[in-house]
């Protein structure tokens, strides 16, 4: 793959009445934040070719809102991305990305956050960027990487929706 985009789902309700975490839905603020982030990614020329989306309701709703900015993207909903570890996320990215594609993974903390930090450190990202992510990875945050032919990830951008008019609340 040429580029990897890691995205956390938007702000979700606290708990469903049925008590199942996977069924938690986005709040209206989370849905609006996802739309903002989709538009921002398009403006930054960070349009995925393929999006892998966790099977959780909140990630699918985040994708539905964000993808309004890029409707022609192929999407796969994956049960294995629900609460996946950083290693599982990385393995999925390596298995799915083809040479000329931009791959997006839309999933959950702490996996997405931890993987982003690992890739930033491995790719010698500026200390200010690592520090920004060390402070947390709020809902609807995105980190983008370019990927060279040897599979090394280089920092390509970090986007917190709160910096672009959204809430990005926990």
At 85 the pLDDT is 97
Report the distance separating Cα 85 and Cα 110, nearest Å: 8
Quick check: is 91 in a domain?
yes
Where do we find the tokens 């990630």?
59
Quick check: is 169 in a domain?
no
Quick check: is 152 in a domain?
yes
Report the distance separating Cα 82 and Cα 44, nearest Å: 27
Residue 151 has pLDDT above 90, yes or no: no
Quick check: is 52 in a domain?
yes
In 2-148, DSSP assigns E strands to: 3-8, 50-54, 74-78, 102-107, 142-147
Nearest CA to 146 out of 117, 127, 120, 126 is that of 120
Q: Which domain holds residue 12?
A: 3-164
At 170 the pLDDT is 58
Report the distance separating Cα 163 and Cα 121, nearest Å: 23
Verdict on whether the full-model pTM lies above 0.85: yes
Quick check: is 74 in a domain?
yes
User: How distant, in Å, are the alpha carbons of 40, 65, 129, 154 from that of 147?
Assistant: 21, 27, 18, 6
Starting at the edge strand found earlier in the chain, the sheet holding 74-78 runs 74-78, 50-54, 102-107, 3-8, 142-147, 153-159
Quick check: is 27 in a domain?
yes
At 80 the pLDDT is 95
Number of domains comprising the chain: 1
User: How distant, in Å, are the alpha carbons of 30, 33, 151, 156 from that of 159?
Assistant: 15, 12, 23, 10
Quick check: is 170 in a domain?
no
At 118 the pLDDT is 95
What would the pLDDT profile of 113-150 be if each residue is shown by its tens digit? Answer: 999 999 999 988 999 999 999 999 999 999 999 999 88
User: How distant, in Å, are the alpha carbons of 11, 97, 125, 158, 168 from that of 94?
Assistant: 28, 6, 20, 21, 28
Quick check: is 71 in a domain?
yes
Specify the CATH number for the domain of residue 47.
3.40.50.1240
């Amino acid at each position: 793959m040429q580029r990897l985009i890691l995205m956390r789902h938007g702000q979700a309700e606290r708990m469903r009445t049925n008590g199942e975490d996977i069924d938690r839905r986005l709040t209206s603020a989370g849905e609006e934040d996802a739309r903002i982030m989709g538009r921002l990614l398009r403006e930054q020329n960070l349009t995925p070719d393929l999006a892998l989306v966790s099977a959780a309701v909140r990630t699918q709703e985040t994708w539905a809102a964000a993808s309004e900015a890029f409707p022609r993207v192929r999407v796969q909903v994956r049960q294995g991305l629900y609460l996946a570890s950083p290693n599982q996320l990385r393995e999925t990215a390596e298995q799915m990305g083809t040479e000329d594609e931009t791959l997006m993974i839309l999933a959950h903390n702490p996996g997405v956050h931890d993987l982003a930090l690992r890739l930033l450190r491995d790719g010698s990202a500026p200390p200010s960027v690592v520090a920004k992510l060390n402070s947390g990875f709020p809902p609807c945050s995105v980190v983008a990487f370019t990927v060279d032919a040897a599979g090394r990830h280089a920092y390509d951008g970090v986007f917190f929706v709160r910096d672009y008019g959204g809430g990005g609340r926990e």
